[in-house]
Amino acid sequence: MKILRRFFIRLSNLATERGTDQRLQEEIAEHLVLQTEENMRGGMTPSEARRQATLKFGPAQAIRERHHAEQSIPFIENLLFDLRYAVRMLLRSPGFSFIAIATIALGIGATTAIYSVIDATLLHPLPYPNPAELVRVMDDLPGVGAQDVGISVPEWRDLESAGIFQSVSVSGTGADVNLTGSAQPERLSYKHATPNYFTVLGVDAQLGRTFDPHDATPGFNLEAVISDGLWRREFGADPHIVGKALRLDNDVYHVVGVMPRGFRDLGSTSEERNTEVWLGAGMAGLPFPPPRRGLRLQSRAVARLKPGLSIAAAQEHLDALVESLKKQYPEEYPSQAAWTVRLTPLSESVVGSVRQSLILLFGAVGLVLLISCVNVANLLLARASVRGREIAVRHALGAQRTRLIRQLLTESLLLFLLGGIAGCAILFFTRKFLLQLVPESLPHMNDISINWGVLAFALAVSVAAGTIFGLAPAWLMSSVDLIGTLRQEGRGSVGSHGRTRARQILVISELALSLVLMVAAGLLLRSFWDLFKVQPGFNPDRVVAIQTWLPGPNDPSQDIYRTATQESVLLREVLRRSRILPGVEEAAIGDVDALPLGHSNPGTLPLIREGIETMDNQAPVIHSPIVSPEYFHLLGMPLLRGRLFSDQDLEDTPQVAVINQAAARTYWPNQDPLGKRVRLHLDARELLNSAKPAWTTIVGVIADARTESLADVATPQIYRSVYQHPAKSLAIFLRGQLDPSTILEQERSQVQAVDPELPVFRAEALGDVLSTSLSVRRFSMEMVAFFAATALLLAGLGIYGTISYVVNERRREIAVRLALGAQRGNILKMVLRRGLGLAAAGAGLGVAGALIVSHLMTGLLYGVSPTDLPTFAGVTLVLTTVALAASYIPALRAMRLDPITTLHSE
């Protein structure tokens, strides 16, 4: 306590320092006067009296100093002094200060921007209590190469009672539902989940309640929890919402709770991210199939581990459980399927897909920061030659080296802090604009913000960078050759050898770093370009897809579109009405899976081939879009063999399918797939009412198209006709001269003229869908390219500064050479050679670094090898050109040096 109090007294002394010292001086003077008078009264002469008084008093100056040292905090005082001096120095050379601060602002601002994205996505991916306890439980069948095949209800019950988890919830991956009864039928994202879902996540409702975690109602339990957004939008934030009815897909639910404002579902698919309604479901009983071990639900299991249990330990318990279950039910888990259950951190499954891109970006931005720091260090060193004399003088006057370093370090820290503040300020004012650049598919985009954590990061980076990159220049600057500098600085300046070497190393590393960035950007650009130029195998031009959704009530008998025949009446009428819309040339219908690149989680079905013995749960899975016969022609997907669907393929005629080449190659290698029969484990509802196994005959093969992902050459597809298989999620494809702003309204009125309860939404031009599918790649590429350009600019400035400095340093020597008759061209060459040497060293190091980096980012590349020669060569060429160009201006200046005036003035 006493120490603390003394500290505060000293701190307050700091402010009143001057006053105190003055007081002391006054008192001393006063005392001396009084003592002198006393001495004179004792009979001394005035001068002797004064001398004796001073002698008696003691050394006044020493007393003052001791008092000062005792009463103040020299560290802070020096700091304030240094800071004052540093500010003066910065103000004295505003050009230097501005460039340095702007460079740092760029580096720190960009790093902070990317960090804020990483903070929201990678560091805080799960907005739930104790997120480390949350895991995803995934069933794999490695024996048949199938991953994440979904969990079955008996397995779920086994897990619940295994003693490994506090609770295990099973939920759909997010789907759509029609909300009717409001002004306009709306399509919402909903999620069915076991009632313990919110308990597992650990979040409670803001109004009302969530589901009763022990509820075991089969099927849906007719309770709904809604999101804050839906509550405000659709119900005007009605405080009495609890208990009100909600009509979803013609089923009536009651709202039991409203989730809090910030609550959002897991974010690995777009449907999940936007979930606005949660329905409690037992996962068994209508409309779910009866529970069987082999019948895996299209769902995901999220569990909360027992407290203190690590994932590894839990996995061990789980492995033992799986082994014993396999022994217990050998028929359900045949050994060739090799059923395993795997735990992964929930956060991983949410952000796994973007991690690599974000880390790449962070790496790139880190390099930019490094380059900007190197550049500032370079500038600081350049100033050393100007300030050499000042430092030497201070040295000569007795300043210790540590004191000088501290002074110089204070200056660089001040620079970096100002730069950091400027960077954050720019970031803050441009954040709206920057957020537009972030692709929408990034999970948790709404959470990106400049919060305290991000600001702390920026501060830490500024201080760390200021210390690291200020220390080296300070060290080099403070080691002055005293005599030499004082003698020479007056004339031409010959900087210390160490300083010159340091600058060259800095420039070389700058060049190397920017080469690494440029290679990364070049490779990404080439990947992107290749993807962009890739022939998708279908023709998206002038095609607009509009979605609509048929309700699927819980009780299938209530469904007016239950069978394909019932649905076909609607579809044919919609198609007929669509074709007469102005501008429409062709129209077709498909389900969402048939929408190229437009769905984030395509459904898959197990493929069972006739004559090949497979259990349902170990069959390979395949995408199976459902389309109307016109689909292939409208999208320009050519038929290679056999036939397409016709209007005569109906529900009561033999089931037919069209496959793509990839499916033919994969499943019937070296065979003619035409006429082969397959069974797709059809959706649950159909399974319930079809006694006979429905065999589907393959009647045609179409060319491969990249409808799943532009990066995938071909995914096997088996197309079925919408007139044989009802589909709920529909996309109406229209080709023609269409005005996107009006077509949605026109199509809506046509569809609702047939059925007023259908929502019609989201008109998308397929061309836009195509480019949106590349948005994450484009974002990474644009960012890295921007950083690379910045780096190149900075490196160019760095080499310019260094060569200028070298030329300046050797002015005298050059002048002598010229005076002795050296050719001006030779001088030019001499200087340029210096620049070229630096560029070559930088490029050599950079290529080595770039090779490492490019191999690390192989996963992000498409169609280009990580050692792509044209990219490497091109980038090296660009860098060398820039380096030469940057050396050219100082070289020109050297060449035009007038020997007479130079030598005279020196």
Partner 1 sequence: MKEKPDVLQGTLTLMVLKTLDVLGAQHGWGIARRIEQISEDLLAVNQGTLYPLLLKLEHEGSIASEWGVSENNRRARFYRLTAAGRKQLQAEARDWEQTAAIIARFFNVKAEDLT
The span from the CA of 459 to the CA of 416, in Å, is 9
Q: Measured from the CB atom, is 35 or 349 closer to partner 1? A: 35
Q: Which is nearer to partner 1, 71 or 412 (CB)?
A: 71
Neighbours of 492 (CB within 10 A): 17
3-state secondary structure of 793: helix
Residues whose CB falls within 8 Å of the CB of residue 202, separated by 6 or more in sequence, listed in order: 128, 129, 130, 304
Contacts with partner 1, residue ranges (CB under 8 A): 9, 13, 20, 23-24, 26-28, 30-31, 33-35, 37, 56-60, 63, 66-67, 70-71
Closest approach, Cβ 12 to partner 1, in A, equals: 8
Q: How far is the CB of 70 from partner 1 (least distance, A)?
A: 7
Q: Find, among 595, 870, 801, 569, the residue nearest to 708 by Cα.
A: 595
β-pair type (175-180, 245-248): antiparallel
Q: Does residue 140 sit in helix, strand or coil?
A: strand
Instruction: Give min distance, CB of 18 to partner 1, in A.
Output: 13
Please say which residue, 34 or 900, places its beta carbon nearer to partner 1.
34
Task: Read off the DSSP letter of residue 875.
Answer: H
**Cβ 797 to partner 1 shortest distance, Å:** 53
Closest to partner 1 by CB, 17 or 686: 17
CB of residue 48 vs partner 1: minimum separation in angstroms?
18
Q: Tokens standing for 156?
A: 């779920």
**Given the complex with partner 1, which of 53 and 814 has the nearer CB atom?**
53
Of 61 and 670, the one with the shorter C-beta distance to partner 1 is 61
User: In terms of CB distance, is 68 or 893 closer to partner 1?
Assistant: 68
Residue whose structure tokens are 């056999």: 642
Residue number with CB closer to partner 1 (60 or 459): 60
The smaller minimum CB distance to partner 1, of residues 71 and 618, is found at: 71
- DSSP tally for the chain: helices H, then strands E: 26, 23
Q: What is the C-alpha to C-alpha distance for residues 280 and 195, in angstroms, rounded to an integer?
A: 5
Supply the minimum distance, in Å, between the C-beta of residue 446 and partner 1.
55
Q: Which residues pair with 330 in a beta bridge?
A: none
* Cis peptide bond prior to 142, omega within 30° of 0: no
Residue with tokens 């033919």, as numbered in its chain: 664
What span, in angstroms and rounded, lies between the C-alpha atoms of 401 and 421? Answer: 30
C-alpha 38/C-alpha 361 separation (Å) is: 82
Instruction: Please identify, using beta-carbon distances, which residue of 17 and 782 lies nearer to partner 1.
Output: 17
Calculate the alpha carbon distances from 838 to 505, 509, 710, 874, 905 in Å: 9, 10, 42, 18, 31
- To partner 1, the closest distance from the beta carbon of 5 in angstroms equals 9
Considering beta carbons, is residue 37 or 585 the nearer one to partner 1? 37
In the complex, what is the shortest distance from the CB of residue 463 to partner 1, in angstroms, rounded to a whole number? 34
Rounded to a whole number of angstroms, the minimum distance from the CB of residue 27 to partner 1 is: 5
Q: Which is nearer to partner 1, 4 or 183 (CB)?
A: 4
Do the strands 604-609 and 621-623 form a parallel or antiparallel pair, or are they unpaired? antiparallel
Least distance (Å) between residue 79 CB and partner 1: 22
Quote the tokens at residue 770: 């195509």
Q: How far apart are CB 372 and partner 1 at their closest, in Å?
A: 47
User: How many whole angstroms separate alpha carbon 182 and alpha carbon 236?
Assistant: 12
Which helix (H) or strand (E) segment holds residue 702: the answer is: strand 696-702
- For partner 1, the closer of residues 23 and 84 by Cβ is 23
Smaller CB separation from partner 1, 24 or 450: 24
CB of 21 to partner 1, least distance (A): 9
The 8-class DSSP code of residue 717 comes to: B
DSSP-derived secondary structure for 484-538:
HHHHHTTSS----HHHHHHHHHHHHHHHHHHHHHHHHHHHHHHHHHHHHHS--SS
CB of 50 to partner 1, least distance (A): 15
CB of 44 to partner 1, least distance (A): 17
CB of 493 to partner 1, least distance (A): 47
- H or E stretch covering 167: strand 165-172
- Please spell the DSSP secondary structure of 726-786, one letter per residue: --SEEEEEEEES--HHHHHHHHHHHHHHH-TT--EEEEEEHHHHHHHTTHHHHHHHHHHHH
Task: Compute the 3-state secondary structure of the chain and give helix, strand, coil in percent, each to the nearest 5.
Answer: 55, 15, 30
Q: Smallest distance from the beta carbon of 41 to partner 1, in angstroms?
A: 10
Instruction: Give CA–CA dist 246/243, Å, rounded.
Output: 9
Fill in the DSSP letter of residue 141: B
Smallest gap from residue 794 Cβ to partner 1 (A):
53
CB nearer to partner 1: pick between 33 and 885: 33
Asked if residues 276 and 261 have their Cβ atoms less than 8 Å apart, the reply is: no
> Measured in Å, how far apart are the chain's first and last C-alpha atoms?
63
DSSP assigned state of 333: S
Nearer residue to partner 1 within complex by CB, 72 or 772:
72
CB-based burial label for 397 (10 Å; 0-12, 13-18, 19+): exposed
- Nearer to partner 1 by Cβ, of 62 and 691: the residue is 62
Q: Is 463 exposed, middle or buried (0-12, 13-18, 19+ CB in 10 A)?
A: middle
Alpha helices in 397-496 (DSSP H): 401-437, 452-478, 482-488
- What are 359's two structure tokens? 């880390």
Minimum CB distance to partner 1 smaller for 31 or for 292: 31
User: 287 preceded by cis ω (within 30°)?
Assistant: yes
The one-letter amino acid code at 253 reads Y
Among residues 251, 162, 151, the alpha carbon closest in space to that of 194 is found at: 151
Q: Shortest gap between Cβ of 78 and partner 1 (angstroms)? A: 21
Say which residue the tokens 């490196």 belong to: 795
Contacts of 892 (CB under 8 A, 6+ apart): 828
